[in-house]
Amino acid sequence: MRKRRIAVTLAAVVLVAGVVAGRERPALELIQESTQTRVAQADDGIDLERLQRGESAAPKADPFARKDPAPKEAKQAAREKPAAPPLPFQYFGRITENGKTEVFLMRGDELLSVAPGQTLGEYRVDQVGAGSIAFTYLPLKTKQTLDFQ
């Protein structure tokens, strides 16, 4: 009985070794064939280069970089004093009667006669000279001059 067990065990080992050795080769060949089939199927009308993402030329933002709460332009604007808008007046002419000179200005379609000390909206007439009129823009207390001749 002992010889019989050894013979059966030996036959089983040979059979298992033969099956394992025989199955390894076809499995590798099947894997190679299936890979080639997939590559062949991928070439059917699909442009694989269009699916790849190219690298961006622009540098990526640094997540650890210190960020300013306000842009530089906003900081510069905050440092600069606000400026008065350009004068809305145009010189129209002047009349001298009995030694008194009257100067006329246009603001849009409106004709105005101006004299020193007069307030015209946000502007005060400070001085009327021979070739210029001095104004003060009241919200900012900024001096402006309208030259004429």
Classify residue 49: in a domain, yes or no: no
Residue 103 CA to residue 114 CA, distance in Å, equals 6
- What are the 10-residue block averages of pLDDT along the chain, 149 residues in total? 89 82 55 57 66 69 72 68 90 89 92 93 93 94 91
- Our count of domains for the chain comes to 2
Domain boundary among 29, 44, 59: 44
Q: What residues does 103 pair with on adjacent strands?
A: 94, 114
Residue 25 CA to residue 28 CA, distance in Å, equals 5
Nearest by Cα to 142 from 89, 85, 79: 85
Predicted pLDDT of residue 146: 94
Residue 124 CA to residue 84 CA, distance in Å, equals 13
Classify residue 15: in a domain, yes or no: yes
Structural domain span for residue 116 = 90-147
Strand 110-114 relative to strand 132-137, pairing: unpaired
Classify residue 113: in a domain, yes or no: yes
pTM: 0.47
Going 44 to 47 to 51 to 54, the CA torsion angle's sign is: positive
The DSSP letter of residue 73 is H
Classify residue 94: in a domain, yes or no: yes
Classify residue 60: in a domain, yes or no: no
Classify residue 104: in a domain, yes or no: yes
Q: What is the layout of strands, in order, in the sheet containing 132-137?
A: 119-120, 123-128, 132-137, 142-147
Predicted pLDDT of residue 144: 96
Classify residue 57: in a domain, yes or no: no
Classify residue 38: in a domain, yes or no: yes
